[in-house]
Amino acid sequence: MEHKIALITGASRGIGAAIARILGSAGFKVYGTATTNEGVLRISAFLKQDAIEGQGMLLDIADPESISNLKSMMADLNSEPSVIINNAGITKDNLLIRMKHDEWNDVITANLLGVQQICKIFLRDMIKRRWGRIINISSVVASIGNSGQTNYSASKAGLEGFSRSLAVEVASRNITVNVISPGFISTDMTNKISLDSRDHIKRKIPLERFGTPEEVAEVVAFLSSDEANYITGENIHVNGGMYMS
């Protein structure tokens, strides 16, 4: 992989930050995005601390103009990505019967339309180079469902179908497209779950624990490598056995 530049959306913390660190340690130049200037500075700081080349970038995944600006900035830096990890996403949970129109639309726009726009705008460079990796982060709830998350589940299930179809479209250009579906991972979000609820969830997981961001990041690193040349259109579950397919 001569062109080792990775773009990771939603990289200021949790799984995204772990991916940035793992790929950086593998020799990638890393560009991580965040929705706030504070998040951008946090990314740049930990990359610098770990002696990883790259920086944080501002991105609103739901705003096409913001995506276009990101593309222009990376082109100015002569840093068109050869690996894209679509990790950014949002939740706006509610029972369907109470769900507001904006709660549905905002989640679908950020989690599905945003990924489509990121892939489309950077894909031409990959096609010209005849090499690329696109890795989309889904969720176990796309497979098992979850009360109060019809919008989120729909967005992630759609992401998986989108990824399979895109994998077929770009395979002849030596570009692979895969999905990783994490289960319950120890992040700021899961740490807000009550201890009783966490214990209840762990009893449903054969490995009897939550995963770590690094365990997801290691799978991303493999799919980003030359060793994964013959894997495309797949959905790899990283959930401790909570869901098996």
Q: What is the C-alpha separation between 120 and 165, in angstroms, rounded?
A: 13
Name the CA radius of gyration of the chain, rounded: 17
Alpha helices in the chain (DSSP H): 14-25, 37-49, 64-76, 101-108, 114-129, 141-144, 150-170, 195-202, 213-223
Q: What is the C-alpha separation between 28 and 54, in angstroms, rounded?
A: 9
DSSP character for 28? -
Helix (H, G, I), strand (E, B), or coil: what is residue 137? strand
Phi-psi category of 225—alpha, beta or left, where left has phi over 0 and alpha has psi -120 to 50?
A: beta
Annotation says 230 is catalytic: no
Catalytic residue among 31, 152, 230, 243: 152
Q: What is the C-alpha separation between 39 and 180, in angstroms, rounded?
A: 24
Helix (H, G, I), strand (E, B), or coil: what is residue 190? helix
Q: What is the C-alpha separation between 189 and 10, in angstroms, rounded?
A: 14
- Phi, psi angles (nearest 5°) of residue 7: -110, 125
- Taking CA atoms, 74 is separated from 82, 125, 193, 216, in Å, by 12, 12, 37, 26
Residue positions annotated with a catalytic role: 152
